[in-house]
Amino acid sequence: MPAAFDNLAIAQHRDTLRYETIRGGGYRPSIRRFYVGDYVYLQQTALTTLDVTAERTILRVREVLPSGVLLLEGRDDVVWKDHVRNCAPCHLPNVDGTMDPSLAIVRAGLRCMLCGSVGQAARMLVCDRCSRGWHMSCLTPPIYVIPAGR
């Protein structure tokens, strides 16, 4: 019986150390290699260890830079930049790779570069290259119809 209690104490101590390492951010998964055309999930920073760390959006790798930064594109043809360590591979066999720019939505909290306001996301134009936004009414001259194309 005493040996079983000693083993239990050892296991509890090991679990405590593992929990402290994971909770403190000391654990980092190994960095994976991604290639152009691979599909990935973009990981988000977890608030607690119980949170899911991957978003449900699947992005395609457009370019792999030497610094470890990936240029990712979604179905809406919007380009994201993020480091390899923040991406998880997607192994789904049935990913639809067609692009549809009409799916583009303005991300929450995007400020207009001219007035600084966050509102009126439906009337905001977003640059395809730098992802900055401008309200159509703030431009000089104002634009009343969303322009076609990129």
Check whether 107 has a pLDDT greater than 60. Answer: yes
Contact (CB, 8 A) for 22 and 54: no
- The answer regarding whether domain 105-149 maps to CATH 1.10.10.10 reads no
Check whether 105 has a pLDDT greater than 70. Answer: no
Residue 34 token pair: 């991604």
Residue 16 token pair: 């405590």
Tens digit of each residue's pLDDT (9 = 90 or more) over 15-71: 888 888 777 766 666 667 888 988 888 776 555 555 555 556 788 899 998 888 899
Indicate the average pLDDT of the chain. 77
Q: What pLDDT is recorded for position 44? A: 64
Q: What pLDDT is recorded for position 143? A: 84
Instruction: Say which DSSP state 30 is in.
Output: P
Contact (CB, 8 A) for 59 and 80: yes
Confidence of residue 125 (pLDDT cuts 50, 70, 90): confident
Alpha carbon distance 139, 141 (integer Å): 5
Domain boundaries, the chain: 38-89, 105-149
- Please give the backbone phi and psi of residue 82, each rounded to the nearest 5 degrees, phi first: -160, 160
HSE at residue 38, side-chain half, CA atoms within 13 A, is 18
Percent of all residues in the chain with a pLDDT value above 70, rounded to a whole number: 74
| Cβ neighbours for 13, distance < 8 A, ≥ 6 positions apart | none
Confidence of residue 129 (pLDDT cuts 50, 70, 90): low
- Please give the backbone phi and psi of residue 100, each rounded to the nearest 5 degrees, phi first: -140, 95
Q: Of 49 and 117, which is predicted with more confidence?
A: 117
Q: Indicate the helix (H) or strand (E) that contains 71.
A: strand 69-73
Q: What pLDDT is recorded for position 114? A: 86
HSE at residue 18, side-chain half, CA atoms within 13 A, is 6
